[in-house]
Structure 1
């Protein structure tokens, strides 16, 4: 077995060759584009070449050793583990969704940047070094040992699988978006094509393969993230450092917003959308008669077009509109209410990008402030409780390396997060200054391309042939991916961004699938059902569970359940409420016992799930039933305090943990006595 130093030198050499090869590929494709290589081929080469690289790393890292499969042999140097953790962290939400959220939410979107970055401070101070000193393989391992038995382990398995599954669905959804746009296949097929890329990275080599694949993926995703906005910054300001120049563009954007929002045609369009919202409200109130009248009118229109000998295209459009009508009154109520809300959202201009906690009155501003703080809190404690992130710190050789690994993780994550606000500002500037006000008939070709996958929509509601802002809809998940085309950059840059987005989604999906399969095979099967299972059988169970979970997650993602960022936020709330109180009190409070932890985890998770069902429209809920007007994405803000309170109260009302468990807490939290003596002698 190689020493850590020799392993580090060898890995450095490998990845230098890898980086040189990747940059050579980008350069060759850029030259080929100038000589006429079709954009479709550029996108396909980028995606398939990078997946082939990840597959090769996965195959070369295959292993049948349990320690290598679960924790990469605990031999990963801090810098590379930090890079792998950053890739594991840079999910589709960070790479694809964050720029779009900041584009639409402006200042309010900084809750994601603040929460996610601050969470790593909690990881470094409260969890990572102590879990590494504990050892073992998974977070339920710690819960089972600390809280004396399988009850806490089973609750941990359930919560970990639930949070990770919601999270992995979001990643596979992101993969579907990228493959459908840049390979030109149907979204549902693209989801399963991406699934193949995920499995080749993790199936054969487990954590060992995933770790070294994630290092490769981080190099691609960070280059793909920084290059386009750097070029765009140079185009707009003459300086290729967007992190330093977007402040000036933000000032210009504020002036542009005032001009645009006071433009007469823009205001007239918003009035038309208000009339449409009122019409939908009338139709909803008149159900079911309004649905019958709508169907009769549409049938009559189709018959008239056929009688008049209208063009086949017009008849086809009318027939499709007839087919798309709701079939029942309940279906119409849901569909028309959604359309009414969409129309209402277009009746008022978006808030100024730099305005903190916007609102029409003081109550609305207070609500925005509460939601900003609640989301920041949930993302911080959720970061510190995500099983697939905490598992990464089991892979370092020592506790000291675990601490250093957190530092490197923060550094590599910082490179992206400090750039995300610049992406949003430059993208919005391009839309407001170059796209809005253009002739709809001469819009760039990328508008139609993204429209085919449903991520860009244009409706000329006033029929003037000019694009107003209210007539343009860009899905937040598409903002980053279309920035190169929005700015008129060479298509090779778009292919690079697609490869980066794919790397971000694949890297996180790999880590999440491993977390789920390890929880089911190691914590549930091996630790509870069959402790006598052989190494070979354990690995077979792990791989089979990984395959099953991956296919189920891909199927759910193909249904397009919700936006990437919302699904990720829900996963954070689940992880925060279920794990954070039990982990922190388990490390720092010896009096916390089995019954307190189990009831606290169930209570925290229960409150969180109850609130999401109570308030999210997907489950039939409504914000009218919200507590303190907190949005569903921040539901963990109620579950985490509930978990702390219940653990403390129940632990104090029941017998304390055994002496062995209290000794374990001391051992995990305190330095080794031999190390302390050595430090005292050398000081």
Structure 2
């Protein structure tokens, strides 16, 4: 009976996604509609779809898992950096990018870079498109893997079958409905995530006897509730977090927002730029509350283990999954609610995958095949090509995800750093510094992206101060290179400066 309720809830959820995809397929008349929704997103859909596509399964699995394993210190500084990054991205990038991209008729992020710097060589377009493909395809694969692992562990299915089935649903509604389907389903999925967080907290607190029990138990563990230390459960001792350098490195996750294509596209697609302030408030409040609740769930799970509601967790990242399965044992109604909680975990992953597939697809079909290679197609054939490319990209993601032991969160962390370092500095300078030119943009983009690989695989293993998150040095290098090279090369043409000043 418990499993039946979970199955019903998840099947209804997946069917709803496919229906929405088919519904929005009728509204895709041009490639601009397919990739940017005709710039018709309302403020609520813009805000919540942006944050849903941002969070991935990291929200409901990663954050509670880290909090459960070592305390709140690491996740607090990470969440604070992400929260500040979210707010600043909406505050300083969203409106200006929306106006700029409409003025120079940009549909994708590579389009924007090329049009902003008037790069007739297409070098900037090609480089930025390849960066999106290089980092997004493994990212998509990691999302498919996360869905496969969840279905496999819940229902005892073969991992490969479960992974391909979940991938087929994501491909189905994204390929048919395009950007609007992805955005509206992401909005719905953000609501499901919210319900999941609330349901888990309510069940957990009722099962242990209230928030005072959680607070007393957590504070009794040395270093567990601290902003400067963590707790090592193997030794039972308090461990120093590492000081200001480690904190800055952890908070640097927030810098990644300025370069995330799937989030920046939401800014370009909002219908009314004057409604961005409302979207900013909605998204910022939701992000801070959602991450705070997710961290609390990790802490609460320890109390649930201590009082015997849960068995000791072998995998801390499955805390919410185990809590949902425990809830499902109470009644059929409870199992339906547990199914909604588990659908929330799927929603985190799917809402990220669909946006990433669209961004990668647009880079290949529009920016590489059509604009760089000059392949001319009719409007209808461009739509067909867009869907074919999306399916091919998804198929490569499935191949990458075929190994159930692949590191989902390791891939997410690396891809986040890659986009943040390659695109983030260039996006900020493109919007706020009129002296930036195409030479600086090209060198800065390449330098930031290359530094991610160098720091991750050659410098970071040295340890010590070099152990910081690769996004921070990559972002700094990309920023400095763009500024220095722009100053050493000819100033932008009058036409570029006039467009910049008009924005």
Q: Please indicate, yes or no, whether the TM-score normalized by the shorter chain is above 0.5.
A: yes
Bigger shift: residues 51-60 or 100-109: 100-109
Equivalent residue in structure 2 for 1:75, among 35, 40, 53: 40
Equivalents in 2 of 1:563, 1:105: separation in Å?
20
Equivalent residue in structure 2 for 1:198, among 167, 170, 182: 170
Asked if 2 retains the 8 angstrom alpha-carbon contact of 1:132 and 1:393, the reply is yes
Asked if 1 retains the 8 angstrom alpha-carbon contact of 2:200 and 2:297, the reply is no
Equivalents in 2 of 1:482, 1:366: separation in Å?
29
User: Which residue in the other structure is 1:91 paired with?
Assistant: 56
Equivalents in 2 of 1:61, 1:578: separation in Å?
33
1:583–1:250 CA distance, 2 compared to 1 (3 A): same
Gaps of 5+ in 2: 233-238
1:605 CA displacement: 0.8
Q: Secondary structure at the match of 1:367?
A: coil
Equivalents in 1 of 2:175, 2:261: separation in Å?
19
User: Which residue in the other structure is 2:397 paired with?
Assistant: 553
Residue deviations 1:587-610 (CA, integer Å, cap 9, x gap) = 111111111111111111111111
User: Which residue in the other structure is 1:324 paired with?
Assistant: none
User: Which residue in the other structure is 1:658 paired with?
Assistant: 493
Equivalent residue in structure 1 for 2:467, among 630, 636, 642: 630
User: Which residue in the other structure is 1:180 paired with?
Assistant: 152
1:173 CA displacement: 1.9
1:358 CA displacement: 4.3
Equivalent residue in structure 2 for 1:542, among 370, 381, 386: 386
Asked if 2 retains the 8 angstrom alpha-carbon contact of 1:577 and 1:639, the reply is yes
Asked if 2 retains the 8 angstrom alpha-carbon contact of 1:44 and 1:182, the reply is no
Question: RMSD in angstroms over aligned alpha carbons?
Answer: 2.3
1:481 CA displacement: 1.3
Are 2:306 and 1:432 equivalent residues in the alignment? yes
Q: Rg larger in 1 or in 2?
A: 1
User: Which residue in the other structure is 1:28 paired with?
Assistant: none
Asked if 2 retains the 8 angstrom alpha-carbon contact of 1:132 and 1:399, the reply is yes
1:659–1:357 CA distance, 2 compared to 1 (3 A): farther
Equivalent residue in structure 1 for 2:245, among 339, 356, 370: 370
Equivalents in 1 of 2:501, 2:375: separation in Å?
28
1:516 CA displacement: 0.4
User: Which residue in the other structure is 1:499 paired with?
Assistant: 343
Equivalents in 2 of 1:403, 1:524: separation in Å?
34
1:485–1:50 CA distance, 2 compared to 1 (3 A): closer
Residue deviations 1:396-444 (CA, integer Å, cap 9, x gap) = 1122123432322223333412211210111011123327xxxxxxxx8
Asked if 2 retains the 8 angstrom alpha-carbon contact of 1:182 and 1:498, the reply is no
Equivalents in 1 of 2:230, 2:321: separation in Å?
27
Residue deviations 1:545-583 (CA, integer Å, cap 9, x gap) = 110111111221221464433322212110111011111
Bigger shift: residues 148-157 or 512-521: 148-157
Equivalents in 2 of 1:355, 1:562: separation in Å?
31
Equivalent residue in structure 1 for 2:109, among 136, 139, 159: 139
User: Which residue in the other structure is 2:236 paired with?
Assistant: none
Equivalents in 2 of 1:423, 1:563: separation in Å?
23
Are 2:452 and 1:608 equivalent residues in the alignment? yes
Equivalent residue in structure 2 for 1:482, among 312, 322, 347: 322
1:663–1:566 CA distance, 2 compared to 1 (3 A): same
1:100 CA displacement: 0.8
Asked if 1 retains the 8 angstrom alpha-carbon contact of 2:85 and 2:257, the reply is yes
User: Which residue in the other structure is 1:252 paired with?
Assistant: 217
Residue deviations 1:274-297 (CA, integer Å, cap 9, x gap) = xxxxxxxxxxxxxxxxxxxxxxxx
Asked if 1 retains the 8 angstrom alpha-carbon contact of 2:36 and 2:179, the reply is yes
Asked if 1 retains the 8 angstrom alpha-carbon contact of 2:8 and 2:336, the reply is no
How do 1:561-576 residues align onto structure 2 when only pairs under 5 Å count? 562-576=406-420
Q: Secondary structure at the match of 2:465?
A: coil
Asked if 1 retains the 8 angstrom alpha-carbon contact of 2:47 and 2:279, the reply is yes
Equivalents in 2 of 1:130, 1:73: separation in Å?
18
How do 1:233-632 residues align onto structure 2 when only pairs under 5 Å count? 233-238=205-210, 245=211, 249-255=214-220, 257=221, 352-354=224-226, 356-358=228-230, 365=240, 367=242, 369-377=244-252, 379-434=253-308, 474-485=314-325, 490-530=334-374, 532-560=376-404, 562-614=406-458, 624-626=461-463, 628-631=465-468
Residue deviations 1:294-338 (CA, integer Å, cap 9, x gap) = xxxxxxxxxxxxxxxxxxxxxxxxxxxxxxxxxxxxxxxxxxxxx
User: Which residue in the other structure is 2:235 paired with?
Assistant: none
1:522 CA displacement: 1.3
Equivalent residue in structure 1 for 2:17, among 54, 58, 78: 54
1:368 CA displacement: 5.5
Equivalents in 2 of 1:210, 1:572: separation in Å?
20
1:167 CA displacement: 2.6
Equivalents in 1 of 2:384, 2:24: separation in Å?
17
1:88–1:201 CA distance, 2 compared to 1 (3 A): same
Asked if 1 retains the 8 angstrom alpha-carbon contact of 2:20 and 2:185, the reply is yes
1:215–1:358 CA distance, 2 compared to 1 (3 A): closer
Equivalent residue in structure 2 for 1:113, among 74, 79, 87: 79
User: Which residue in the other structure is 1:679 paired with?
Assistant: none
1:161–1:401 CA distance, 2 compared to 1 (3 A): farther
Equivalents in 2 of 1:593, 1:65: separation in Å?
31
Equivalents in 2 of 1:427, 1:226: separation in Å?
14
1:95 CA displacement: 2.3
TM-score normalised according to structure 1 size: 0.67
